Structures are given as C-alpha cells and as structure tokens.
Amino acid sequence: MQNINSEFQKKLKMDSLELVSSNKIFGGDQKVYSHESSELQCKMNFSIYLPPQAEGGDVKLPVIFYLSGLTCTEQNFITKSGFQRYAAEHGIIVVGPDTSPRGVKIEGDDESWDFGVSAGFYLDAEKEPWAKHYRMGSYVNKELYDLIINAFSNVVDSKRIGIMGHSMGGHGALISALRNPGQYKSASGFAPICNPSACPWGVKAFSGYLGEDKSKWTEWDATELVRKYDGPPLTLFLDQGAADKFYIEKQLLPENLVQACRSAGVPVILKLREGYDHSYYYISTYIGEHFDFHAKILTA
C-alpha cells in the first residue's frame, strides 16, 4: 500500500507540472517546468538539470538547489554559468526556482529593481500587501523542495541535498540552510548578502516585507541566525569578488558573517577573488570549485 501511495503521489506531482522547455547539454537534459504554486498563489517556473547519470532512473542522485539574485529569473543561471559541465561530471541534479512570484500585480511591485518583482528575498512577507503572495521562503524550502522529491523520486536522493546561490540568492541559500537544520547538507554562496539587517538592500526589503519590528529581521539574516545555530555540522562556503562594487559599497558584508560563524563555532570558508566583480563572468569562473565543494559532502 505504501508503494502504491508513493507512486500515486509521484504521478499527482508530475501531472501538475507543465514542461516549458528541454535542451540537451553535456549529456544531460536542461528542463524548465511550470506549476501552480499554492504558497505563492500563482504560476511559477523552475529549472531542473538531469545529468546523464539520471537516464533510466536506476540510481538516486544528490541535488543542489540554486537561488538566483536580484532582477533574475530561473533562466540566468542555466544560460550563463556553464554549471551543467560540472553537474554532469559529478552526477548532481540542479534545481533553480524563480526569484519572486510572477503573474500577480501588486501596486508598486515593479517600481524598483531591488524590491518587488524579481526581488522576493527568499522570505515570507508579513506586511500587506505582500503577505499573500511573497512567501518565497516557504515556497523554496517546503513546496518546491517537496515537489522535487516527490515528482522526481526515481532519481532524487532526499538525504543528499545542498543549496547555493548568488547575491540575494546567496542570502537565500544561507538562511535556508540555517533555518532548516539538516535539510541541506551543504551550503555556499557567490557574493551573498550576508548581513541584510545592516545593508541598504536588506533594510529596504525587510522594512517593506516584514515591517519595522527588527526582531523579525533577525529571523531572515544569516549573520544573526548563525549565532544560534544548533543543527548538524554545516560548513558555509562564501565566495566574493574583491572588485565587486556591491562588496565595496558594503551591501554584502561577508566579514560580518565570518566573525559571527567563528564566535558560534560554525565552520566557514571565505574566498576573496582579486579583480572579479558581481557578474556571471565571475560565477562561471568559479562554479566548478563550488560543485567540487558540494560533491565532497553530498557524495561522501
């Protein structure tokens, strides 16, 4: 009966997915699906790369969720980073959600590039009018997470899942790992927003989505969350371009998170890349190193 129910749940999940595109790359398949999200109450896209090892469904593979940054959709990472080469080498499935609800219209949601559309900040908004749809925290870590495990159960190893991201998505990856101890075995970020409560981007987003009560901000801030982390062993890998203008302008603040990690006894790696900026030129240069980092943990 349990197997029958499992197969039924899988079929139910697959039936709710609509294939948007599929492209062959490095022996695997880069797909994009859409589905109706109950958390966000709108249709959402997500990408999934199935490496060549997934063909036939004979083996369970590890998964990495990748969260993109401000202004991005699910397309930026899959078309610009070149990650598929490394995912194919390591036999890792890679899932990439969109960055905010699409298809809903809230007054003011498209007035700035760092708030509203394409800027969901991977949190659950509490302030109106955002609270109904802007629930990216629950969408990524509950709804989409469960959907991937159930719909692709023949190839996904639910005990070997990691998470990474870029900028706002790096912030999302870090808080997802810290807020959900044990759910993600590995976590890394390219130029992550490490201490949003203390930078202009974060203050704007937290004020708009959560309100002025700063005690609520700490629940979505990696530097604050790591101080009280008591989950399974977790090493955070932070990657930062030294020529990144947002790093120079104190939007990212990785040193704050490093200091908090060391005080809390949480292992942390910070690599400062001389001459590199915030772009996908930088990400594509070091994406292989991130896959090596995750693979050592997820395939151990």
- CATH value at residue 65: 3.40.50.1820
**pLDDT value of position 293:** 98
Indicate whether 5 pLDDT > 90: no
Write the pLDDT tens digit of every residue in 155-183: 999 999 999 999 999 999 999 999 999 99
Q: Which two tokens stand for residue 248?
A: 């120079």
Indicate whether 251 pLDDT > 80: yes
Pairwise CA distance, residues 34 & 110, whole Å? 22
Residue 65 C-alpha from the chain's centroid: 5
Write the pLDDT tens digit of every residue in 271-299: 999 999 999 999 999 999 999 999 999 99
For residue 281, give the amino acid letter: Y
Indicate whether 8 pLDDT > 50: no
**pLDDT value of position 58:** 86
Q: Which residues of 167-201 are buried (b: 16+ CB within 10 A; e: fewer)?
A: bbbbbbbbbbbbbbeebbbbbbbbbbbbbbbbbeb
- Predicted structure pTM score: 0.95
**pLDDT value of position 11:** 54
Q: Which two tokens stand for residue 231?
A: 């989950």
What phi, psi does 110 have (nearest 5°)?
-120, 20
pLDDT category of residue 3 using cuts at 50, 70 and 90: low
Per the annotation, the verdict on 171 as an active-site residue is no
The closest of 79, 98, 83, 91 to 34, measured between CA atoms, is: 98
Catalytic-role residue among 98, 244, 290, 294? 244
Indicate whether 186 pLDDT > 90: yes
**pLDDT value of position 9:** 53
The closest of 162, 197, 199 to 294, measured between CA atoms, is: 162
**pLDDT value of position 123:** 98
Tell me which H or E stretch contains 31. strand 28-37
Write the pLDDT tens digit of every residue in 145-154: 999 999 999 9
Is the link from the previous residue into 233 a cis peptide, with omega within 30 of 0?
no
Per the annotation, the verdict on 21 as an active-site residue is no
**pLDDT value of position 6:** 57
**pLDDT value of position 103:** 83
Number of domains forming the structure of the chain: 1
Per the annotation, the verdict on 167 as an active-site residue is yes
**pLDDT value of position 4:** 46
Catalytic-role residue among 118, 167, 176, 188? 167
Task: Name the burial class of residue 282, with classes exposed (0-12), middle (13-18) and buried (19+) by CB atoms within 10 angstroms of its CB.
Answer: buried
CA 220 vs CA 83, 125, 132, 223: distances in Å: 27, 11, 18, 9
Write the pLDDT tens digit of every residue in 227-238: 999 999 999 999
Measured in residues, the chain has a length of: 300
**pLDDT value of position 7:** 59
Instruction: Tell me the average pLDDT across 8-34.
Output: 86
Indicate whether 39 pLDDT > 60: yes
Q: Which two tokens stand for residue 110?
A: 């498209």
Write the pLDDT tens digit of every residue in 196-212: 999 999 999 999 999 99
Residue 30 C-alpha from the chain's centroid: 17
Q: State which residues form the domain around 97.
A: 2-298
Task: List, in order, residues 6 or more apart from 101 with CB less than 8 Å away.
Answer: 37, 40, 41, 42, 44, 120, 133, 134, 136
